[in-house]
Amino acid sequence: MPLTDTAIRNAKPGAAPVKISDGGGLHLLIQPNGAKLWRLAFRFAGKQKTLALGAYPTVSLAKAREGREAAKKLLAEGVDPSLHKRREKLSAKASANATLKTVAIEWLNNQRHALTPKYADELLRRLEANIFPQLGARPVADIDAPEVLGVLRKVERRGAEEQARRLRQTLGAIFRYAIITGRVTHDPTAALKGALRAKGREVHHAAMPREDLPAFLGALDHYDGDPRTAIALRLIVLTMVRTTELRAARWAEFEHLDGSEPLWRIPGERMKMKTEHLVPLQPQAVAALRELRGLPGANASDFLFPSPAAQGCMSNNTMLFALYRMGWHSRATVHGFRSVASTVLNEAGFNRDWIERALAHDERDQVRGAYNSAEYLTGRRSMLRWWANWLDEVKASGKVIVLVRDAAA
């Protein structure tokens, strides 16, 4: 017969433990000292087991019955209720002892093998400056989306909108790590998609003044940020491609790097004009690629420049903010290097069609466009080699040299 609260209150202890059944395996175990404990008997994988559901009256009869029904559901799903309870206890204990700061540092240490020491330290500095003061001591399981948004809004109000977006990405990676390690059940940053201020469209592509080239090239050799970013800027200058074409580049696109005619074959789907683009590579570009390949974690992704905080490639503004960091804020953009190269090469007397094809500009005549793609590759290779050598001379001399080229080039 099912138990009642009256029967439970009136039940007296004996010299030995006494069981009073409620049905379905649920029973009240009355100890000789008077303690009344809820127990659930069940079978799992052919073995008889017992699950503790708490003590009466702290756990009422109704709550004990809820526990019995919950255990039945787990059994129907092939889950051992006692093992499930132990896991929940361990997870609760881990969550209670895990602050955002401890989890973040654990995540970062776990990522260090794939990051350069400088970049890993930079990530930690950003968290220490912007996140830890407000959220670092909070239990990671208690942090919700509005709290995260409030902290990121403070970063936005300083005018550091791109940094706010990057911090959201980093926090997302930290919370996903916390999910995997059993500290939390969800990522609050996922709810913030679209909540931060939208990126403004870049409408000005300021070209670096030519007289700044020697200083810029010298500073690039001593860039103190992530070396991947410095290599990306070098490749942008050498290859004349667009930012989006470089940052999403994959290693599989590069051919014959050990041969006499190395080539970068950019798929049409990543080109502005949706047609395949071939970039002949100078020795300087190949050297930059080899340097990139030798950095820690280079083989961990198909991308040349993987995102450090999420899947995919580097942010659209990574190189631009490197320019700002080097002192060219509002004086130059990454896209502007294409204009610099075009001006220098035109003044040096190179074939205009070679230059336009190197820039992957639209060809309205489809027949002529196909002809250029096949016929101009040799000319473009010699032109880009001249361009790379000219840049080396500019950097070495510390001044913009007279534009003189071999007439055979």
Does some domain include residue 407?
no
Please tell me the predicted confidence (pLDDT) of residue 292.
94
CATH number at residue 385: 1.10.443.10
277 is catalytic: no
Do 117 and 216 belong to one domain? no
Please pick, among 73, 86, 158, 371, the residue that the annotation labels catalytic. Answer: 371
Do 112 and 78 belong to one domain? no
Query: pLDDT-based confidence at 393, cuts 50/70/90?
Result: very high
Please tell me the predicted confidence (pLDDT) of residue 204.
46
Do 86 and 104 belong to one domain? no
Do 249 and 350 belong to one domain? yes
222 is catalytic: no
Does some domain include residue 201?
no
Please pick, among 290, 361, 368, 399, the residue that the annotation labels catalytic. Answer: 361
Q: pLDDT per residue over 279-330, tens digit each?
A: 999 999 999 999 999 998 888 889 999 987 666 888 878 999 999 888 888 7
Please tell me the predicted confidence (pLDDT) of residue 371.
42
Neighbours of 339 (CB within 10 A): 16
Does some domain include residue 330?
yes
Please tell me the predicted confidence (pLDDT) of residue 40.
92
Domain that holds residue 108: 100-192
Please tell me the predicted confidence (pLDDT) of residue 193.
83
Do 273 and 178 belong to one domain? no
293 is catalytic: no
Please tell me the predicted confidence (pLDDT) of residue 296.
86
256 is catalytic: no
Does some domain include residue 406?
no
Lowest pLDDT segment from 13-22, 71-80, 85-94: 85-94
Do 169 and 249 belong to one domain? no
Structure-token pair, residue 291? 């340097």
Does some domain include residue 117?
yes
Please tell me the predicted confidence (pLDDT) of residue 366.
45
Among residues 192, 221, 256, which one ends one of the domains?
Answer: 192
Please tell me the predicted confidence (pLDDT) of residue 183.
84
Do 188 and 236 belong to one domain? no
Sorted by sequence, the CB contacts under 8 Å of residue 73 that are 6+ apart come out as none
Please pick, among 335, 357, 380, 381, the residue that the annotation labels catalytic. Answer: 335
Do 238 and 357 belong to one domain? yes
Q: Which amino acid is at 98?
A: A
The closest alpha carbon to 33, from 20, 51, 15, belongs to 15
Q: pLDDT per residue over 209-258, tens digit each?
A: 888 899 999 999 999 889 999 999 999 999 999 998 999 999 999 999 99
Number of domains present in the structure of the chain: 3
Please tell me the predicted confidence (pLDDT) of residue 28.
92
Does some domain include residue 316?
yes
361 is catalytic: yes
Q: pLDDT per residue over 78-117, tens digit each?
A: 889 888 887 776 665 555 568 999 999 999 998 888 777 8
Spell 216-242 as b/e; 16+ CB within 10 A means b. Answer: bbebbeebebbbbbbbbbbbbbbbbbb
Among residues 31, 59, 90, which one ends one of the domains?
Answer: 90
Overall pTM surpassing 0.75 (yes/no): no
186 is catalytic: no
